[in-house]
Structure formats: C-alpha cells, structure tokens
Amino acid sequence: MSPKLSKPLSPGDVITEDMPIIHVIHDEYKDKYCDNCMKRSDQLKKCSKCLRMYYCSIECQKNDWKYHKNECKLYRHESIQTFLDSGFRYLLRLYLSVQNIPTFATKKYRLFDGSEVSLRDIEVNVNVFDVNEKREHLWEICNLFIQLGVKYDFQEVVHWLAFVTNVPAFQLKSHLKIGCIGRGLYMGYTTLRHSCQPNSAFIYNSRGLSKELRAMRPIEANEEITINVVPLYRNRADRQQALKSYSMVCECDKCVHHLDRRVDYERLIPSKQFPMNVFDTQLMANLLTDLDVVFGEYYPMKTMILMEIFRQLSICPSQLIHTISPSLPTHRHTIGSNHQICEMSPKLSKPLSPGDVITQDMPIIHALHSESKGKYCDNCFKRSDQLKRCTKCLHMYYCGKE
C-alpha cells in the first residue's frame, strides 16, 4: 500500500525530501563527479588503493569509507574488471553493506506518513528468476563471488538481486547537466506505488543528493501518493513491458481505458516536434492536448518539452514564428536554398507611404531566452531584481502577482 497523508495538498506542495542510503555514479561520469557528494570537479582525487573511486575532499572519502571499505579490495581483483558497470556496482554495494554493516538491513526509516520501514520489510518477487535471462544473471553473480573469494549465502544473493530487480533505483541528476548521472536507493520512496497518472513527481534541486517529492495536482486527504516508475513519454505497450521488469501492473485509468490511444508519442520527442520546420497553430494545439493526456497539468517533463518548443521557436526564422499571431494568419516565407514561396502574403487595398503603420500586434505566447531568465519578468518583460519564482515549477519569474 502506497503511503497517504491526512491533509490535502495543492500542486507544487512539497510532500517530503529524502537522501539515498546508497548510490553510485554511472561509468561515464566517474571522473567528473565526486562519488560521495556528487559535486562536479576537475580536481577529484582517486582512491589510492583501488583507483576506482573519486572524491573531491578527504572528508568525502572518509564519509564514503563506511561502504567503500567492503568493496575496495574487490575492485582490485582482475576477475571483476568486466563487471564494473554501474548496475553491478550498485548491487555489490547493497549486498556488501547488508552483509557487513550490522544494522544496515534492519534499521527503520520513518516515512512521510509516519510509518516505518526497513530494507528487510520490503517484499520482493524471487520468481523473476524463472526467466532464463534473469537466472543466467544470478549464476554469473554467484560464480563471480566465488572467484572473488566472497562468502555468500545463496538465498541472500537471490533475495537482494531480486530486490534490485523489483525495487526501482531512482535517478541522480546534477543541476549542472540535464540527464541521469547515477542511481540511488531512497528508503522514503521505496513503498510508493506506480501510476501512469501520478499525483506526485520528483523535483531535482541543487542540494546534491537530496530529492524532493512534490504534488503534481490537488491531492485529497488519505489519497495514495503515487509516482511513475517508468517514463510517461512511452506508449502504453512500452510502459507495460517496462513495468514487467519490476513485477508491476498499472491499473490507472489511462492504462485500463487506453486514454492515450490517439496520442502520437513520436511527436513528444523534441527533435520531431517540427518535422517540416514549419510551425502551425493546429499542430501546437494538438501537441498541447497530447501533453495534457500524457503528463497531466504540472508534470516536470511537460515543462521541459514546452521549454524545448519555445527554444526551437526562438531559433526559427521570424517569419515562421509570426504565424502564431491570429491577426497575421498568412505570411510570405521561404524555405530552402531556392527561396520557394510557400504562402501568399497579405495585401492592402490602399497605398502606403514609408513609415506608415500597417498594423500592431501582441504575441499570444512568448518566452525569454535562457540567459535572461531571472532578470526579466516572464509575463511583461519588465527588468527587475526583485522577481518572484513560481513556487510550483521554480522555472518562471514574475515581477508581481498580476
């Protein structure tokens, strides 16, 4: 059962904030981010013993030693070199911590609804190893432990490998880069139920490993808090297939009644939103409708896609952008090197002199360039050093409530 709260929530309200009990950085970022605090630095120091871990300070190395001391010797073994991807390092750190830190698996963590849970309390489905691919992976791990000289209990290996398979490890992100740079185990979020119509979502802030959970729509008192475990920008068939790896089945209205059957998911990929390099108001209306069906009203990914749309509009020729103006329904514009005329430009029935005002218009939508965000009001473009951020998405700035 997913946790509940006894009070109602509004969109943007912080439900809780949590830190991972273990985490690993993906291979391609290993020498760019500190393995303990995830701070980006070009002066990271390697662990002098295994040469596999990178730290930004002695303090970070000491803080991580509680976990790394169990794996440091193993990282030096030649048999492990082909297995050292982030997935295996995550499993190894979890398993060795359970086996070597006395209270690691039994320590109770208080959830935001007041209940408590430990790693041992979380149920896992060991039947996942009935699949040949999963069973082969299990035997690979056991054989590797034998080569490394790791004493293990077979049932324990089965349990914790099933745990890694069943319980999602949440993405780690850096405020310096859009994209996942690692994975972490957040106990506060392990019992949350998946829904393809989630009422909450994670917000990444600039406080290192900390991850906020915020309401994405009004949530009534005693309503289950849900998140999405698989990406919402996938179609129903792909989502269902991805959920099988977690032994999950989604029963939300969108999946049960296939509410997104008419959504063109290909168009949700930013590079494919303007396949003809021509902007059309109907295209925009359809896209906005699709975004509402897929993400709901406030989901962060929806904001990112809209920001990418505005970015693409900002680099389009001005003639193309102007077609969003209702008072200028058609424009003369050229596409390609042959300067082919695509549409007829408006005409007037009276002659004009140089400097005559033809018309005046206001944009129906507009967006600030990234470098101007935080300096100008996103609505009226007034410059101010006292702008207030939107408390829900934290991406828009305004000079007043109006």
Residue-wise pLDDT for 309-346, tens only, equals: 777 766 655 444 444 444 444 444 433 444 443 445 78
Average the pLDDT over each of 143-152, 290-299, 324-333 and give the range with the smallest value.
324-333
- pLDDT for position 4: 87
Both tokens of residue 199? 């009422």
Beta bridge partners, 22, equal 185
309 with 384, same domain: the answer is no
189 in a structural domain? no
Q: How many domains does the chain have?
A: 3
Residue 172 has pLDDT above 50, yes or no: yes
Higher pLDDT: 245 or 321? It is 245
392 with 294, same domain: the answer is no
- pLDDT for position 176: 54
| Strand ranges in 26-160 using DSSP code E only, listed in sequence order | 45-46, 54-55, 109-110, 116-117
Mean pLDDT value of segment 219-231: 94
162 with 30, same domain: the answer is yes
- pLDDT for position 215: 94
Widest CA span in the chain: 92
Question: Residue 73 — φ and ψ, nearest 5°?
Answer: -65, -40
- pLDDT for position 282: 66
Eight-class DSSP state of 49: T
235 in a structural domain? no
105 in a structural domain? yes
Range of the domain at 311: 280-315
* Domain final residue pick, 172, 202, 224: 172
32 with 168, same domain: the answer is yes
26 with 118, same domain: the answer is yes
Q: What would the pLDDT profile of 75-112 be if each residue is shown by its tens digit?
A: 998 878 777 788 899 999 999 999 999 999 999 999 99
Residue 64 has pLDDT above 90, yes or no: yes
- pLDDT for position 314: 67
- pLDDT for position 160: 94
- pLDDT for position 268: 76
Both tokens of residue 181? 């740079």
| Rounded-to-integer distance, Cα 293 and Cα 260, Å | 6
User: CB neighbours (10 Å) of residue 384?
Assistant: 15
99 in a structural domain? yes
Confidence of residue 216 (pLDDT cuts 50, 70, 90): very high
Beta bridge partners, 173, equal 180
Mean per-residue pLDDT over the chain, rounded: 84
Ramachandran region of residue 381, left (φ > 0), alpha (ψ -120 to 50) or beta? left
| Rounded-to-integer distance, Cα 367 and Cα 307, Å | 8
338 in a structural domain? no
Confidence of residue 356 (pLDDT cuts 50, 70, 90): confident
Residue 349 has pLDDT above 90, yes or no: no
162 with 26, same domain: the answer is yes
Helix, strand, coil content of the chain in percent (nearest 5): 35, 15, 50
Confidence of residue 168 (pLDDT cuts 50, 70, 90): confident
- pLDDT for position 49: 94
Residue 276 has pLDDT above 80, yes or no: no
Question: Residue 38 — φ and ψ, nearest 5°?
Answer: 70, 20
Mean pLDDT value of segment 111-137: 86
374 with 299, same domain: the answer is no
User: What global pTM score does this model have?
Assistant: 0.74
30 with 146, same domain: the answer is yes
Average the pLDDT over each of 104-113, 120-129, 166-175, 371-380 and give the range with the smallest value.
166-175
Mean pLDDT value of segment 31-37: 92
Do strands 211-215 and 14-18 pair parallel, antiparallel, or not at all (unpaired)? antiparallel
- pLDDT for position 315: 65
Cα-based angle 244, 220, 10 (whole degrees, multiple of 5): 95
304 with 373, same domain: the answer is no
284 with 161, same domain: the answer is no
123 in a structural domain? yes
* Domain final residue pick, 118, 142, 172: 172
Residue type, 316: C
290 in a structural domain? yes
351 in a structural domain? no
164 with 40, same domain: the answer is yes
285 with 166, same domain: the answer is no
Contacts of residue 351, defined as CB under 8 A and 6 or more positions apart, other chains included, come to none
